[in-house]
Chains A and B, each alone.
Chain A
């Protein structure tokens, strides 16, 4: 009964989404306020219905209702509760329901908190949002229905892919999806503006918080995915340039560009056409990511099942929305007036450079990800595009961008002074140079580019701090005065500085762990000792252990450093009984210096075990940096000027202007 309620709610949500699309659009065309007004309650009801549906599915998972095919195929009664809950989106059907749930949540948020938006804009935005929801709800109901019953109901389920049975499953997909789907807001706003044929600086002010929220979640989602791969895949890699990773990285790159161009639009009324196009591109890339991952074009841990009908359906959705939006753009964009002139050396100019490099870098990832697919479908030739390609094309674009980052906030709007900006950054440059020299001096091995990379990280961090120092006039007046100004600085200034510094932290982590990681692959007998990166590691032997739904053999490793006991590492090999499949769990000792990472291999003929030990210096900085970027975004989002109520004044101003004309 609960499942049927969920099923019914899902179909009802589809109907509501269609209403939400058609009537408000009709209303804004015919200037019928009653039809226009339907958008708001429709978006709220649609969210409630999908929430009911999602709750019904979760109930089925938690209560292990194996009469549902979806639950039977992806769950098991012995599975720990957290994986019963998170397992809802650990499969294709459930993850699509989560997708539309988040989509509807954003729509409902605009409906509920967007009362300060002009009514027509709000109605158009919700109509576009409703059309996306309708397409995906139709997709779920027709090809990916999680509420199909089995009769008779099996006694127990098939279990969940053990690789997915990890606490990260509870967080990685929701954050990633919030990021992906959140960009739909920017898309809907862009299309709504194109339908209206007009756009102003206030538009950017409404779009920016949504884009920022989506960007934050995507940043964290990608970082969590990388961390998950790092400890789960068993050899300490954190980024693979895998098509599935690229699928999430492309919207991130485009979304980052969008955040910056929307800033120019809000403050200076420039780059309007480009910002609109970028909003469309960003969400198109999110849709493409969904297509790549969900269609089965790529087989990976993420492609839960392969069904060509689904692929074609998502392809059709993608084609309709991207094609439609771009056509609308081609027709309407010439109508949008340009404003705000600026000199090449200016804050705007620096943000243009940011957009130029980010979008080209995104294009590099795009080509590298899709070229093998295109080549194979056209000529049948199979090639692989792996990390070397991306190092060759992506990195040369990103490095100059990172060098330029600290300059941007130091330049004034309209016309900046590069020499003055450079003078304000002297301290950061000196520190960065010092770091380079020090690293070069101490570096015993590793590529000659590594010191440069560390220097770049330091440059980013201290460049960001320099901006704060400059804004509080740290060097011009008394310290007390500077301290007082520090409190008065808008939060968005701290947000920018933190996000840029976070980038530097990520940079240092990537460079250090790539350049100076040590590894030791050896056969160890019990009580055997080895040494890596200053740690003495003693292999105590292997003991069996029982988990809730697995058995594991645990290798016990005593770790000493300078004669003192540090920790005991327990890497293991798990045997999941229900799924009849196994995973390797790494044993990791984390510290500021880096991670000691141990993997237990197979038993060899003479009683020894194959053991893999790695030391990954500063690897935590990668994820720490991402968290700092997230916090930066959150601070910026909490800024009074971006807060939901704030645009009210802008609207009032606009109305006053209109009245004054």
Chain B
């Protein structure tokens, strides 16, 4: 049983780590009253930017939705930069320079994401071509004429009567 006990000890640690994580991510949510800027236009911009920035310690949540301390720091940072007169783009660049592209919920359009952005349209065009090709090929192949509805009905009656 020693192996098992070792395993369960490890499991205990993992569980602990997981619970810690839950603790971090499940406390109160998002923007706190004291963070909100007086200037409504600036605040609206802050919210808009926050919605596009990922909370780095959470699962796929924007900093606007997350209650993690790190998300709060980032929200405050965004608002400070706004008050300092930065444009939205400058703020985005600033945050990316600090935390990497991982922080952006909308990946940038750059060589390493071309495949990501182009994949869907390319799949769509290929699918269209396949449909068109299959249709033309099938129209070209002569097949025996299908039975008309009336004939089919008659066939069914004949067979069922047997």
List residues of chain B with CB within 8 A of the CB of A85. none
User: B36 touching A352 by the CB < 8 A rule?
Assistant: no
Interface presence of B150 (CB below 8 A):
no
List residues of chain B with CB within 8 A of the CB of A393. 117, 120
Contact of B102 among A383, A387, A392 (CB under 8 A): A383
Query: Given A69-B7, A69-B11, 20 other A-B contacts at CB below 8 A?
Result: A73-B8, A149-B1, A150-B4, A158-B12, A162-B22, A300-B59, A339-B143, A340-B146, A360-B120, A360-B127, A368-B116, A375-B112, A383-B112, A579-B19, A581-B22, A582-B23, A602-B27, A604-B34, A610-B28, A660-B159
List residues of chain A with CB within 8 A of the CB of B156. 653
Interface residue count on the B side (C-beta < 8 Å): 60
List residues of chain A with CB within 8 A of the CB of B100. 382
**Stretch of A46-54, A97-105, A177-185, A232-240 that contacts chain B:** A232-240
0/1 interface trace, chain A 62-96, chain B, CB 8 Å (1 if under)? 00000001001100000000000000000000000
Whole-angstrom distance between the alpha carbons of A31 and B37 in the complex?
78
User: A158 touching B15 by the CB < 8 A rule?
Assistant: yes
Interface presence of A386 (CB below 8 A):
yes
User: B34 touching A523 by the CB < 8 A rule?
Assistant: yes
0/1 interface trace, chain B 132-162, chain A, CB 8 Å (1 if under)? 0001001100010010000000001001101
Interface presence of B49 (CB below 8 A):
no
User: A397 touching B33 by the CB < 8 A rule?
Assistant: no
Within 8 A of A (CB), among B1-44: 1, 4-5, 7-8, 11-12, 14-15, 18-19, 21-23, 26-34, 36
User: B59 touching A299 by the CB < 8 A rule?
Assistant: yes
User: A379 touching B26 by the CB < 8 A rule?
Assistant: no
A residues within 8 Å of B by Cβ? 69, 72-73, 148-151, 158, 161-163, 233-235, 237, 240-243, 298-301, 305-306, 338-341, 344, 352, 356, 359-360, 363-364, 367-368, 371, 375, 379, 381-389, 392-393, 397, 521-523, 573, 579-584, 599-602, 604, 610, 612, 653, 656-657, 660
List residues of chain A with CB within 8 A of the CB of B7. 69
Taking chain B's interface residues, is the majority helix, strand, or loop, or is none over half, making it mixed? helix
Interface presence of B107 (CB below 8 A):
yes
Closest to B156 in A: A653
List residues of chain B with CB within 8 A of the CB of A241. 60
Whole-angstrom distance between the alpha carbons of A158 and B16 in the complex?
10
Distance (whole angstroms) from the CB of B92 to the closest CB of chain A: 12
21 residue pairs of the A-B complex, CB under 8 angstroms, read A69-B11, A243-B60, A299-B59, A306-B14, A338-B138, A341-B146, A384-B107, A385-B107, A388-B105, A389-B105, A392-B106, A393-B120, A397-B120, A521-B30, A521-B33, A523-B34, A582-B23, A600-B28, A601-B29, A612-B30, A656-B162
Whole-angstrom distance between the alpha carbons of A199 and B26 in the complex?
52
User: A388 touching B106 by the CB < 8 A rule?
Assistant: yes
Whole-angstrom distance between the alpha carbons of A367 and B107 in the complex?
13
List residues of chain B with CB within 8 A of the CB of A163. 22, 26
B residues within 8 Å of A by Cβ? 1, 4-5, 7-8, 11-12, 14-15, 18-19, 21-23, 26-34, 36, 52, 54, 59-62, 65, 100-107, 112-113, 115-117, 119-120, 123-124, 127-128, 131, 135, 138-139, 143, 146, 156, 159-160, 162
User: A151 touching B101 by the CB < 8 A rule?
Assistant: no
List residues of chain B with CB within 8 A of the CB of A344. 135
With contacts A382-B100, A581-B22 known, is A341 near B143, CB below 8 A? yes
Closest to A523 in B: B33
User: B139 touching A341 by the CB < 8 A rule?
Assistant: yes
Closest to A344 in B: B135
User: A384 touching B105 by the CB < 8 A rule?
Assistant: yes
Distance (whole angstroms) from the CB of B101 to the closest CB of chain A: 5
Closest to B128 in A: A356
User: A240 touching B60 by the CB < 8 A rule?
Assistant: yes
Whole-angstrom distance between the alpha carbons of A409 and B127 in the complex?
23
Whole-angstrom distance between the alpha carbons of A163 and B27 in the complex?
11
List residues of chain A with CB within 8 A of the CB of B119. 363-364, 367, 371
List residues of chain A with CB within 8 A of the CB of B103. 384
Contact of B106 among A359, A389, A583 (CB under 8 A): A389
Closest to B126 in A: A360
User: A384 touching B104 by the CB < 8 A rule?
Assistant: yes
User: A521 touching B120 by the CB < 8 A rule?
Assistant: no
With contacts A338-B138, A383-B101, A397-B120 known, is A599 near B29, CB below 8 A? yes
Taking chain A's interface residues, is the majority helix, strand, or loop, or is none over half, making it mixed? mixed
List residues of chain A with CB within 8 A of the CB of B113. 371, 383
Closest to A243 in B: B60
List residues of chain A with CB within 8 A of the CB of B29. 233-235, 584, 599, 601, 612
List residues of chain A with CB within 8 A of the CB of B59. 242, 298-301
Contact of A610 among B33, B112, B143 (CB under 8 A): B33
Whole-angstrom distance between the alpha carbons of A522 and B160 in the complex?
75
User: B36 touching A521 by the CB < 8 A rule?
Assistant: yes
List residues of chain A with CB within 8 A of the CB of B143. 339, 341
Whole-angstrom distance between the alpha carbons of A70 and B39 in the complex?
54
Whole-angstrom distance between the alpha carbons of A451 and B59 in the complex?
32
List residues of chain B with CB within 8 A of the CB of A385. 105, 107, 116
List residues of chain A with CB within 8 A of the CB of B34. 523, 604
Closest to B36 in A: A521
Closest to A605 in B: B34
List residues of chain A with CB within 8 A of the CB of B61. 240
With contacts A150-B4, A299-B59, A521-B33 known, is A367 near B120, CB below 8 A? yes
Whole-angstrom distance between the alpha carbons of A382 and B14 in the complex?
24
List residues of chain A with CB within 8 A of the CB of B102. 382-384
Closest to A299 in B: B59
User: B54 touching A386 by the CB < 8 A rule?
Assistant: yes
User: A148 touching B4 by the CB < 8 A rule?
Assistant: yes
User: A356 touching B162 by the CB < 8 A rule?
Assistant: no
User: B30 touching A242 by the CB < 8 A rule?
Assistant: no
Distance (whole angstroms) from the CB of B68 to the closest CB of chain A: 13
List residues of chain A with CB within 8 A of the CB of B30. 235, 521, 612
User: B60 touching A242 by the CB < 8 A rule?
Assistant: yes
List residues of chain A with CB within 8 A of the CB of B116. 367-368, 371, 375, 385, 389
User: A235 touching B105 by the CB < 8 A rule?
Assistant: no
Contact of A381 among B23, B28, B101 (CB under 8 A): B101
User: B27 touching A363 by the CB < 8 A rule?
Assistant: no
List residues of chain B with CB within 8 A of the CB of A600. 28
